Structure 1
Amino acid sequence: MKNIDYIIVGDGYAALFFAHQLLKHNKSFVLFSEGRKSASQVSAGIINPVVLKKFTTFWKAQEQIDFLKDTLVEIESYTGKNYLIDLPIHRIFHDENEQNLWLKKSKSDELSSFLDENFDHLEGVKNDFNTGKVNQSARLQVSGFFNDLFVFLEKNEFLVKEKFDYEKLDTSADSYKDLQFKNMIFCEGMGVKENPFFSDIAVIPNKGHHIKVKLSEAIPKDITIKKKHFLFPTDNGLHFYGGTYDREQLHHHVDESAVEQLVNGLSEIYPNDFDVEEVNFGFRPTVKDRRPIIGRHESFKNLYVFNGLGARGILNGCYFSKSLYQFIEENIPLHEEVSIARFK
């Protein structure tokens, strides 16, 4: 039997940011990953403090942005790379009303540090009413982040590349196969529905598609463009465009209607020819109140869940990994807005 402090089940943002907390505090652990691409791993990696439909912000936005930047510097200390792509979002305005609303909101205390008062006109895309820049917005270099962290975890014997088997978990002995553990964290996204301990948590699948396209004419490289969806360059000369939101079509294959929606959306802002080279989709675990679900099992006191990160997986996963760690190790109560207890 090998004694360890933690077992983590999952391989998205929740799992990896929690693994970082354990590395930071010198805890022993293993992370179980079955090697399929999670919703996190096909995500756009957008880091954005503003809801770009209504020009509002959200709970703890500034704290989450600041904490993420600090955490990525800490992760750089062992991977050798910082995965923050410090390029802002430019939101294309639909009309003058949106311009005026943006200007009004940019003068409010809540949004003045996020909404730039100066408008820009972009070359190569349709933006008749100009664009507004979201200050402090950025992107995560998603593939590098996951690849490098998995390489690091494997090299240091923290990674177990296999599907977790719930039937092999002995809750009376706190053991799983040949591992004796103190705490177990389930960070499975929509996979939680197969988990006999937490299958009833209130996560709702939200299917998202994105496309990767080859553009025939250049557009600005140093920004992320947003109207209906996000458009930005990827490492291999293609552009990412996405993603959609769908709570109805939940089958495990590509939805042609979603692809059509993306092609039409891109055509609205990009006046030249483009080819769709790739289509990806994933299932975001969302929650009605748009807050993560974090907490301890009612009966098995060393089993925990960290889920429901939704479309803000990077910010939520990073920020609340510390809250979960402090809850377990320091007995600091979880904020009631994210605690699983709010559903009781």
Structure 2
Amino acid sequence: MVDYLVVGLGLAGTAFCETLRRNNKTFIVFNDQSQTSSRVAGGLYNPVILKRFTLSWRADEQVKIASDFYKNLEQFLNVQFYENQVVLRKFASIEEQNLWFEAADKEKLKPYLDTNLVKSYNKALNVPFGFGKVLGTGKLNTKILFNAYVKWLKQENILCQDTFDYNSLVIQPEYVEYKGLKAKNIVFADGFGLMKNPFFNYLPMQGSKGEYITIEAKDLKETNIIKSSVFLIPLGNDLYKVGATYNRGLIDNETTEDSKEELLKKLKSLLNCEYKVMGQEAGVRPTVKDRRPLVGKHPKHKNIWILNGFGSHGILIAPWASKALYEQIEHQRPLLVEMDIIRFSKN
């Protein structure tokens, strides 16, 4: 018998597995790569909602945990995927500059909004009103992270790459059993796959399809992450990721011409240089109607748990929520009511 079965290996599943490893718990992971949102994401960690200059939900708590978590994970895996990188928010007007200063004066936002505005410095960017600099930001190369973690799981022989068969899960009072494997607990971190999960599909997940394009712009020579109506994320070698779209209710991973055109239209207002599209990706974010995570215990089974619903803030939320769930399971520490699935009690 192992301590845990974990279903799903996006940001939520990886963060929870790593929390288990650091606490010397035994586990086996199931992942069929059917959910792609974590892999195709832009990889940004940013505590500020830049559309309206507000702090994202409990970001001040999450930043402290996430930074150490990813640095330690880099050391363990002996790969580099975590990078502190400046985000510059393009101002559309003088009025937006004034709103920036008003926000920067608020106590919780002071650590993240630099009051020294950045003048336009790159002729390839159309930025007549300059930028605001966001602090405490950066990016993860999620593909490097996931590939390295999968490699380690395979070495330990604790990864099953088959699709999880919910009908084969046998629930006993003190453990669960799945095709001959026994575990004290099972945690579902299956992203938008929750919609097919009979234990938790009563929860109000909506899903939001996001698409990115990758461009090559040899004259751009930009090293900062730029936020205008889209994010422009440097990848190196004159390549940049541009995104993302938000299409609620669309639940497939197929790229579309409409989303590509939407991104190109927004990009046109930012760039003054030539570029060409090199690729396009899509994934469905696990979003919830109240924009809060889905964490907690099944209403009837004490050994079945969920870790899900991070939306577009998974990089910051995942280590923090994983820690909270682990402490709930192992030490009975109560979850925040805001993210506990008890708020959606099943009748």
Whether the 8 Å CA contact 1:292–1:307 is kept in 2: the answer is: yes
How many angstroms apart in 2 are the aligned matches of 1:189 and 1:24?
A: 23
Which residue number corresponds to residue 212 of structure 1? Answer: 214
Whether the 8 Å CA contact 1:46–1:140 is kept in 2: the answer is: yes
Which residue number corresponds to residue 269 of structure 2? Answer: 268
Report the AA paired with residue 229 of structure 2: K
How many angstroms apart in 2 are the aligned matches of 1:249 and 1:290?
A: 17
How many angstroms apart in 2 are the aligned matches of 1:190 and 1:249?
A: 11
How many angstroms apart in 2 are the aligned matches of 1:250 and 1:20?
A: 28
The CA deviation at 1:158 is 2.0
The CA deviation at 1:216 is 3.7
Measured on the aligned residues, the alpha-carbon RMSD in Å equals 1.4
Structure 1: runs of 5+ lacking an equivalent: none
Whether the 8 Å CA contact 2:46–2:137 is kept in 1: the answer is: yes
The CA deviation at 1:104 is 1.6
1:109-128 to 2 correspondences below 5 Å = 109-120=107-118, 121-123=120-122, 124-128=124-128
How many residue pairs get matched?
341
The CA deviation at 1:36 is 3.7
Whether the 8 Å CA contact 2:5–2:187 is kept in 1: the answer is: yes
Report the AA paired with residue 145 of structure 2: F
- Measured at CA, do residues 81 and 252 of structure 1 come closer, stay the same or move farther in structure 2, by a change above 3 Å? closer
Which residue number corresponds to residue 344 of structure 2? Answer: 343
- Percent of pairs identical after alignment? 34
Q: Deviations over 1:62-83 (max 9, x none)?
A: 2211100111122133201342
Q: Deviations over 1:10-37 (max 9, x none)?
A: 0110000000110001111011011345
- Measured at CA, do residues 114 and 82 of structure 1 come closer, stay the same or move farther in structure 2, by a change above 3 Å? same
Asked whether 1:256 is paired with 2:257, we answer yes
How many angstroms apart in 1 are the aligned matches of 2:105 and 2:158?
A: 48
The CA deviation at 1:288 is 2.1
1:324-335 to 2 correspondences below 5 Å = 324-335=325-336
How many angstroms apart in 1 are the aligned matches of 2:253 and 2:233?
A: 26
- Measured at CA, do residues 159 and 290 of structure 1 come closer, stay the same or move farther in structure 2, by a change above 3 Å? same
- Measured at CA, do residues 157 and 34 of structure 1 come closer, stay the same or move farther in structure 2, by a change above 3 Å? same
Which residue number corresponds to residue 131 of structure 1? Answer: 131
Normalized against structure 1, the TM-score is what? 0.96
1:1-344 to 2 correspondences below 5 Å = 3-36=1-34, 38-120=36-118, 121-123=120-122, 124-172=124-172, 174-221=176-223, 223-235=224-236, 237-344=238-345
The CA deviation at 1:323 is 0.2
Report the AA paired with residue 158 of structure 2: F
Whether the 8 Å CA contact 1:11–1:38 is kept in 2: the answer is: no
- Measured at CA, do residues 35 and 343 of structure 1 come closer, stay the same or move farther in structure 2, by a change above 3 Å? closer
Task: Give SS of 2:100's match.
Answer: helix
Whether the 8 Å CA contact 2:176–2:186 is kept in 1: the answer is: no
Report the AA paired with residue 208 of structure 2: N
The CA deviation at 1:168 is 1.3
Task: Give SS of 1:27's match.
Answer: coil
